[in-house]
A and B are shown apart, each in its own frame.
Chain A
Amino acid sequence: MYARCIEALTWCARFLSLIGIVVSGGLEPSVAQNDKPTDGKKNVLILYGERLDLPVIRMAEQSLRETFAASVAPQVEWFAEYFDFARFPSAEHEANLTRYLRERYAGRKIDLIMPVSSLSLRFLLRHREEIFPGVPVVYAVQSAAEVDAGALPPDVTGVAAEMDVRGTVDLALRLQPEAREIVCVGGASGADQDGLAQVTKVLEGYADRLRVRVVSRRTLAQTIQEVRAVPRGQIVLLISMIRDAEGRALSSREVARKLSAVSQSPIYGLWGTLIDTGAVGGALIDAGAVGRKAAEVALKVLGGARVPAGSPETKARTPLVLDWRALQHWKLPLSRVPAEAVVMFRQPTLWEEHRGLIIGIATVLVVQTTLIAGLIGQRVRRRRLEREAVELRHELTHAGRVTMLGQLASSLAHELNQPLGAILRNAEAAEIFLQSDKPDLDELRAIVADIRKDDQRAGDVIDRLRALLKRRQLDPRPLILSQLVDEVVTLTRADSFTRHVGIEFDVPRDLPLVRGDRIHLQQVLLNLLLNGMDALADVADGERSLTVRARTAGGGFVEVAVSDNGHGIPAEKLGRLFEPFFSTKPKGMGLGLPISRTIVEAHGGRIWAENNAERGATFRFTLPVAEGGVA
Chain B
Amino acid sequence: MNPTVFIVDDDTSFLSAAVRLLRASGFAVRPFNSAREFLAQLEPETPGCALVDLQMPEMNGLDLQAALTRTRKAMPVVFLTGHGDIPSTVRAMREGAEDFLEKRAPKEKLLQAVRRAILRDAQERATRTRTREVQARFKKLSDRERAVLEHVLRGRLNKQIADDLGICERTVKLHRTSITTKLGVQSVAEIARLAQEAGTFPKGQ
Contacts and interface: CB of A to CB of B under 8 A. Distances in A.
Contact of B21 (A425, A493, A494): A425
B87 A414 contact: no
B104 A410 contact: no
Given A410-B83, A498-B85, A420 B104 contact: yes
Contact of A414 (B13, B16, B60, B82): B82
B25 A432 contact: yes
B13 A454 contact: yes
Nearest to A419: B13
Contacts of A429: 17, 20-21, 23-24
A494 B82 contact: yes
B24 A421 contact: no
B82 A417 contact: yes
A497 B17 contact: no
A193 interface: no
Contacts, number: 87
A498 B83 CA distance: 10
A450 B16 contact: yes
A433 B83 contact: no
A529 to B, nearest CB: 16
B20 A494 contact: no
B103 interface: yes
B163 interface: no
Interface string B1-41: 00000000001011011101101110000000000000000
B24 to A, nearest CB: 4
B107 A414 contact: no
B55 interface: yes
- The dominant DSSP class at the B interface is mixed
Contacts of A414: 55, 81-83
Contacts of B54: 497
A90 B179 CA distance: 192
A413 B16 contact: no
A390 B13 CA distance: 43
Most chain A beta carbons < 10 A, residue from B17, B21, B87:
B17
Interface residues of B, number: 27
B82 A457 contact: no
A418 B21 contact: no
Interface in B83-142: 83, 85, 87-88, 102-104, 106-107
Nearest to A425: B17
A135 interface: no
A497 B20 CA distance: 28
Interface residues on A, range: 20 to 34
Given A417-B102, A428-B107, A493 B17 contact: no
B20 A417 contact: no
A413 B82 contact: yes
A494 B21 CA distance: 26
B14 A422 contact: yes
B11 A422 contact: yes
Contacts of A421: 14, 17, 80, 82, 102-104
A336 B180 CA distance: 149
A439 B54 CA distance: 33
Interface string A404-444: 00000110011111111111111011001100000000010
A371 to B, nearest CB: 64
Contacts of B14: 418-419, 421-422, 425
A497 B59 CA distance: 11
B17 A494 contact: no
A498 B82 CA distance: 12
Contacts of B80: 421
Contacts of A409: 83
Contacts of A423: 17
Contacts of B24: 429, 432-433
Nearest to B88: A498
B83 A422 contact: no
Nearest to B24: A432
Most chain A beta carbons < 10 A, residue from B54, B88, B104, B106:
B104
A223 B57 CA distance: 119
Contacts of A507: none
Nearest to A457: B13
A256 to B, nearest CB: 107
B55 A497 contact: yes
A418 B17 contact: no
Contact of A494 (B83, B102, B106): B83
Contact of B13 (A410, A417, A450, A494): A450
Contacts of A14: none
A359 B23 CA distance: 100
Given A450-B13, A498-B85, A498-B88, A417 B103 contact: yes
Contacts of A428: 21, 107
Contacts of A422: 11, 13-14, 16-18, 103
A627 B60 CA distance: 42
16 contacts: A413-B82, A417-B82, A418-B82, A419-B13, A421-B102, A422-B11, A424-B103, A425-B14, A428-B21, A429-B20, A429-B24, A432-B21, A433-B24, A454-B17, A494-B82, A498-B87
Given A410-B85, A424-B17, 18 more contacts: A413-B82, A413-B83, A417-B83, A418-B11, A420-B103, A421-B17, A422-B16, A422-B103, A424-B103, A424-B104, A425-B21, A425-B107, A432-B25, A450-B17, A453-B13, A494-B55, A497-B55, A498-B88
Interface of B: 11, 13-14, 16-18, 20-21, 23-25, 54-55, 57, 60, 80-83, 85, 87-88, 102-104, 106-107
Interface of A: 409-410, 413-426, 428-429, 432-433, 443, 447, 450, 453-454, 457, 493-494, 497-498
Nearest first, the 9 closest Cβ-Cβ pairs linking A and B are: A421-B103, A414-B82, A413-B83, A425-B17, A417-B82, A432-B24, A429-B20, A429-B21, A422-B14
